[in-house]
Chains A and B, each alone.
Chain A
Amino acid sequence: MDIQTPAVGDRLALTRLISEVENDQNTNLKILDECYRRSGRAHLIGVTGAPGTGKSSLVNRIARLVRSESKKTVAIVAVDPSSPFSGGAILGDRVRMRDLVGDEGVFIRSMASRGELGGLARATAAVVRVLDAAGFDLVLIETVGAGQSEIEIARLAHTTIVVECPGMGDDIQAVKAGILEIADILAVNKADLPGAETTERILRANLELGYPQAVSAKAGHGGFQEADAQSSNESWRPPVIKTVATEGTGVPEVINAISQHRDYLEKTDLFKKRDGERLQVEFEQTLSRAIMENWRNRFSKEKVECALNEVLKHQRSPASAVKELLES
């Protein structure tokens, strides 16, 4: 193939390139460069939250509504966990995304986390870049069911939606550090279940702790109205939106908040800044990985095994074994 990145409609070439990138199979660097040059246009939207809160269902509805209301194309990257024991994975997010079947403007790809702990796979950013370069307008990135510290998504996405649902813990859970801190938009999904009001109140109260000067006179109104009020001053205050993803309730408000957040990012130049921060991290991670592989190849397998054996036999501490290996 010539140096050309696949376009939205070029699904076979697209899927093959994604596989190459995911598997790090010495992809032609010129293709990667070309992808890179073409990327940077798509709005990357992360969707994260605990397992079972309804991330996939919400992604499904967001994509469906965006497709029915506009000509924007949508790619979805859904990450599920790999088993730490077998390395295998069951990727089941498509089960909730059946509404999108047959739409040429939608591309869904499942990824296994392959041992990464941040809620994404190592290659997720690279796969997203291929989809961005192909010309998808929105890329929705669904993380592994995440708890309190899987926050890689905030680095990758321009806009991060954290999905909560009723019954997930009290207000102390909410003030702990963690994924609530990375939310640009908070969705209280399954809002038809008892306890939704309480969850919403806790989240709002928690936000007020972070933005004490703007004590909300508007609490109780639709979240994105608040977002509107504040986009005039400089900081973004995450709206709290009640949704019932299976029925589509609240989804228009979420989409509204997404586009308001994008406006905010562009107005404040954060769109570019976030890209820059992410690329710096990606560059450094790639560099350290390459250096590590390079170094490891310099050691003979026997030497490493020999050192390991001494450790296993309790003859030598790991620290001293490694030190000797490095100095040998």
Chain B
Amino acid sequence: MADRKIRVLIAKPGLDGHDRGAKVIARALRDAGMEVIYTGLRQTPEMIAEAALQEDVDVIGMSILSGAHLFLVPKVIEAVKKTGLDGVGFFVGGIIPDEDAAVLKAAGVHAVYGPGTSTETVIQDVRTFASKTAGTGDAASE
């Protein structure tokens, strides 16, 4: 019987080396019963897209603290689209000014999280997104 799990890719695009936030989120999602693929620091958009494709993830979470989000995030979204993988949700966490968050959302980001966001919020959002896109009906129960 189907025991599909929500699969999430947690990625650190770009050059900043602060991965504590990414690790906290990865851990929280794991504790919420999801399968989290962690790829480590300093990923290019192409690397993220390739990992997302090979792992067939439902959601990509990007943690960016370098200020390069407006440059990197659209490139990741574009690279993922190029692979043909559809229905993937993009979530971004980091130090993102409100006006930039609006730009990112317009580019296809599902949600943007700043400092102080509770992990519960992120978990709920990911669950809601995954259950909406699961489509086949038997997916994403936990």
A-B interface, 10 closest residue pairs, ranked by CB to CB distance from nearest: A88-B30, A95-B40, A15-B56, A12-B84, A23-B4, A87-B33, A19-B56, A88-B33, A91-B37, A92-B38
Of the stretches A107-115, A198-206, A209-217, the one at the interface is A107-115
Nearest A residue to B55 by beta-carbon distance? A110
Instruction: Assess whether A11 is in contact with B36, with CB atoms less than 8 Å apart.
Output: no
- List 10 A-B pairs, Cβ < 8 Å: A12-B83, A15-B53, A24-B2, A88-B33, A88-B35, A91-B38, A94-B38, A94-B39, A102-B50, A107-B54
- For the complex formed, measure the closest distance between the CB of A81 and the CB atoms of chain B, giving whole angstroms: 11
Q: Besides the contacts A88-B30, A88-B33, A108-B51, what 19 more A-B pairs have beta carbons closer than 8 Å?
A: A15-B54, A18-B56, A23-B3, A24-B2, A83-B30, A86-B30, A86-B33, A88-B35, A88-B36, A89-B35, A90-B30, A91-B55, A94-B40, A101-B47, A102-B50, A109-B54, A110-B55, A114-B5, A293-B1
- For the complex formed, measure the closest distance between the CB of A7 and the CB atoms of chain B, giving whole angstroms: 15
Instruction: Assess whether A12 is in contact with B85, with CB atoms less than 8 Å apart.
Output: yes
Is there a chain B Cβ closer than 8 Å to A16's Cβ? yes
Chain A binding surface, main DSSP class: mixed
- For the complex formed, measure the closest distance between the CB of B2 and the CB atoms of chain A, giving whole angstroms: 5
Instruction: Assess whether A23 is in contact with B84, with CB atoms less than 8 Å apart.
Output: no
Instruction: Assess whether A95 is in contact with B38, with CB atoms less than 8 Å apart.
Output: yes
B39 cross-chain contacts in A, Cβ below 8 A = 94-95
- For the complex formed, measure the closest distance between the CB of B48 and the CB atoms of chain A, giving whole angstroms: 10
Nearest A residue to B83 by beta-carbon distance? A12
Residues of chain B whose beta carbon lies under 8 Å from any beta carbon of chain A: 1-5, 26-27, 29-40, 46-47, 50-51, 53-56, 83-85, 136, 138, 142
Instruction: Assess whether B29 is in contact with A108, with CB atoms less than 8 Å apart.
Output: no
Nearest A residue to B136 by beta-carbon distance? A25
Query: Chain A 1-42, CB within 8 Å of chain B: the 1/0 string?
Result: 000000000011001101100011110000000000000000
Residue of A88, A92, A107 contacting most chain B CB atoms (<10 Å) = A88
A16 cross-chain contacts in B, Cβ below 8 A = 56
Docked pose: A87 CA to B2 CA in angstroms = 14
Is there a chain B Cβ closer than 8 Å to A98's Cβ? yes
Nearest B residue to A293 by beta-carbon distance? B1
Instruction: Assess whether A15 is in contact with B55, with CB atoms less than 8 Å apart.
Output: yes
- For the complex formed, measure the closest distance between the CB of A107 and the CB atoms of chain B, giving whole angstroms: 6
- For the complex formed, measure the closest distance between the CB of A140 and the CB atoms of chain B, giving whole angstroms: 14
B40 cross-chain contacts in A, Cβ below 8 A = 92, 94-95, 98
Nearest B residue to A17 by beta-carbon distance? B56
- For the complex formed, measure the closest distance between the CB of B99 and the CB atoms of chain A, giving whole angstroms: 33
Nearest A residue to B40 by beta-carbon distance? A95
Nearest A residue to B3 by beta-carbon distance? A23
B138 cross-chain contacts in A, Cβ below 8 A = 25
A15 cross-chain contacts in B, Cβ below 8 A = 53-56, 85
A102 cross-chain contacts in B, Cβ below 8 A = 46-47, 50
* Other-chain contact of A87, B5, B47, B55 (Cβ < 8 Å): B5
Instruction: Assess whether A108 is in contact with B30, with CB atoms less than 8 Å apart.
Output: no
Docked pose: A88 CA to B119 CA in angstroms = 15
- For the complex formed, measure the closest distance between the CB of A8 and the CB atoms of chain B, giving whole angstroms: 12
Docked pose: A87 CA to B140 CA in angstroms = 13
- For the complex formed, measure the closest distance between the CB of B33 and the CB atoms of chain A, giving whole angstroms: 5
Instruction: Assess whether A112 is in contact with B35, with CB atoms less than 8 Å apart.
Output: yes
Residue of B47, B50, B138 contacting most chain A CB atoms (<10 Å) = B50
Instruction: Assess whether A91 is in contact with B36, with CB atoms less than 8 Å apart.
Output: yes
Instruction: Assess whether A90 is in contact with B56, with CB atoms less than 8 Å apart.
Output: no
B46 cross-chain contacts in A, Cβ below 8 A = 101-102
Residue of A98, A109, A114, A293 contacting most chain B CB atoms (<10 Å) = A98
- For the complex formed, measure the closest distance between the CB of B36 and the CB atoms of chain A, giving whole angstroms: 5
Nearest A residue to B44 by beta-carbon distance? A101
Docked pose: A88 CA to B25 CA in angstroms = 13
B55 cross-chain contacts in A, Cβ below 8 A = 15, 91, 109-110
Instruction: Assess whether B29 is in contact with A88, with CB atoms less than 8 Å apart.
Output: yes
- For the complex formed, measure the closest distance between the CB of A59 and the CB atoms of chain B, giving whole angstroms: 15
Nearest B residue to A11 by beta-carbon distance? B53
Instruction: Assess whether B4 is in contact with A94, with CB atoms less than 8 Å apart.
Output: no
- For the complex formed, measure the closest distance between the CB of A93 and the CB atoms of chain B, giving whole angstroms: 9
Nearest B residue to A104 by beta-carbon distance? B50
